[in-house]
Structure 1
Amino acid sequence: MSTASPSITHELIASAYTYDQYVTLSADLLAQGRTTSESPGYNTPEVLGFTKLNLHRMSRVGRFTVIQPELAEALQNVPERWIWLVLTESWCGDAAQILPVLQRMTDLTPNVQMRLILRDKHLDVMDAYLTNGTSRSIPKLICLNADTLAERGTWGPRPAALQALVMQWKAEKRPYAETAEQTQRWYNDDRAESLQHEMLFLIRQWAKISV
């Protein structure tokens, strides 16, 4: 049994956003010309444009994603109550593709609830779950026992096949706009199949820990 970061408490979980609350917050802030981050670098006209696209993507992905039967069965057989605590921000293009699918998953079972916290307001949590020990990459999912907050496992920031491509593109020093476009094209072609496959594997592993 793994122990979650000391920064993850029941009080933190209680203050975290539901998916619907997060979408509303993101839309309200966008109407004010802001993202969920207070950093000036994440509130430029270009980033605000990405954020507007993200809200449209979240709506589309949420409407059209179909959860695979095998994954639905695994979710319905989760043996204890879980919290999926996810670090995110409204400007994040990966989060816009991932969060609606995770929400569709949790809709299928009373034993899993997703709660969202903002990365830049919870760097103490983020820094305990760095990608490759160095990167504050989001979204980052932390699966917790809802009663004890014992950690069952983590996922993120993106499906493994895409992560490998992103790391390759970064090594090639491709322009950010090109990388962002290629990333979104990958998600559109994949139709959440890779995410569902990975989550099915992890849910089965986490369920074994729970028994």
Structure 2
Amino acid sequence: MDTLTQNLSTLLEFGITNSMPYPAYRALMAEMVATHSTTGLDKSESMVGYTILNEQRMKRWDKTLKVSADAQEKIANFKGDVTWLVLTESWCGDAAHVIPVINKVAELHPNIDLKLVLRDDNDDLMQQFLTNGGKSIPKLIMIDNVSGTVIDTFGPRPTGATQMIEDYMKAHGAITDEIKENLQGWYNKDKGQNTIQDLLTLLGVA
């Protein structure tokens, strides 16, 4: 095993050891709201406000998200044994829409173990999984539980939302409040279905 591979293996082990299951993450978010705080290094009022909003979003998705019978059948056909280690923070808008979907899919297969870690507490790990040079979240790392190796990654956004942002950037050169509002509308209209499809692809059962 070369040094780079060994370092990544150590970071993954540390991340998994210090991770939390989905119910604990949801409890942490509720605690942040109750104490008027937020996860992450930036404790500004704006970040606290995002956490409060995201708690409402996640609560809604936890109750309303639907996985079709066809998707459930495909998930059941997955033959691997994996850990989904997800880097996130309570203030992240994309995470609020995406992570409840990740959880719903993981719940449907006994060999998908979902674990969540906070990005700012795991910067060395985050640095290994940058998106276009940035620490974008949520970032799902799919790890083979037999070999301990990374199979693939997903995130920070589903493919449709990613394309939407890329098209806007080409046309306008920057992320504005307009596209942020449009993105929230996209998530609400899509109802998690694009993310489900992307996760089926990640599992190799699409």
Q: Is this a same-fold pair by TM over 0.5?
A: yes
Letter in 1 for 2:119: R
CA distance in 2, matches of 1:201, 1:175: 28
**How far is the alpha carbon of 1:125 from its aligned partner?**
0.9
Letter in 2 for 1:22: Y
Q: Tell me the residue number matched to 1:188.
A: 188
Where do 5+ consecutive residues of structure 1 fail to align?
207-211
Does 2:18 correspond to 1:15?
A: yes
Moved more, 3-12 or 87-96: 3-12
Contact 2:141 2:150 (8 Å CA) reproduced? yes
Q: Tell me the residue number matched to 1:63.
A: 63
What is the DSSP-based 3-state SS (H/G/I as helix, E as strand, rest coil) of the residue aligned with 1:25?
Answer: helix
Q: Tell me the residue number matched to 2:45.
A: 45
Moved more, 147-156 or 50-59: 147-156
What is the DSSP-based 3-state SS (H/G/I as helix, E as strand, rest coil) of the residue aligned with 2:11?
Answer: coil
Q: Tell me the residue number matched to 2:122.
A: 122
CA distance in 2, matches of 1:198, 1:48: 30
Letter in 2 for 1:141: L
Q: Tell me the residue number matched to 1:99.
A: 99
**How far is the alpha carbon of 1:3 from its aligned partner?**
8.7
Contact 2:38 2:48 (8 Å CA) reproduced? yes
Q: Tell me the residue number matched to 1:144.
A: 143
What is the DSSP-based 3-state SS (H/G/I as helix, E as strand, rest coil) of the residue aligned with 2:9?
Answer: coil
What is the DSSP-based 3-state SS (H/G/I as helix, E as strand, rest coil) of the residue aligned with 1:188?
Answer: helix
Q: Tell me the residue number matched to 1:73.
A: 73
Does 2:156 correspond to 1:157?
A: yes
Q: From the superposition, tell whether residues 77 and 205 of structure 1 become closer, same or farther in structure 2 (CA, over 3 Å).
A: closer
CA distance in 1, matches of 2:89, 2:176: 18
Q: From the superposition, tell whether residues 52 and 139 of structure 1 become closer, same or farther in structure 2 (CA, over 3 Å).
A: same
Q: From the superposition, tell whether residues 35 and 173 of structure 1 become closer, same or farther in structure 2 (CA, over 3 Å).
A: farther
Contact 1:37 1:120 (8 Å CA) reproduced? yes
Contact 2:21 2:114 (8 Å CA) reproduced? yes
CA distance in 2, matches of 1:179, 1:7: 38
**How far is the alpha carbon of 1:68 from its aligned partner?**
2.3
Cα-to-partner distance string for 1:100-144 (whole Å, 9 max, x where unaligned): 111111111111011001111111111111112x01110000111
CA distance in 2, matches of 1:12, 1:50: 25
**How far is the alpha carbon of 1:173 from its aligned partner?**
5.1
Q: From the superposition, tell whether residues 202 and 122 of structure 1 become closer, same or farther in structure 2 (CA, over 3 Å).
A: same
Contact 1:54 1:93 (8 Å CA) reproduced? yes
CA distance in 1, matches of 2:140, 2:153: 5
**How far is the alpha carbon of 1:65 from its aligned partner?**
1.0
Count of equivalent residues? 201
**How far is the alpha carbon of 1:170 from its aligned partner?**
4.4
Between the two proteins, what is the percent identity of the paired residues?
A: 32
What is the DSSP-based 3-state SS (H/G/I as helix, E as strand, rest coil) of the residue aligned with 1:136?
Answer: coil
What is the DSSP-based 3-state SS (H/G/I as helix, E as strand, rest coil) of the residue aligned with 1:166?
Answer: helix
Letter in 2 for 1:139: P
TM-score (norm 1): 0.86
Does 2:170 correspond to 1:167?
A: no
Q: From the superposition, tell whether residues 138 and 55 of structure 1 become closer, same or farther in structure 2 (CA, over 3 Å).
A: same
CA distance in 1, matches of 2:86, 2:13: 15
CA RMSD of aligned residues (A): 2.3
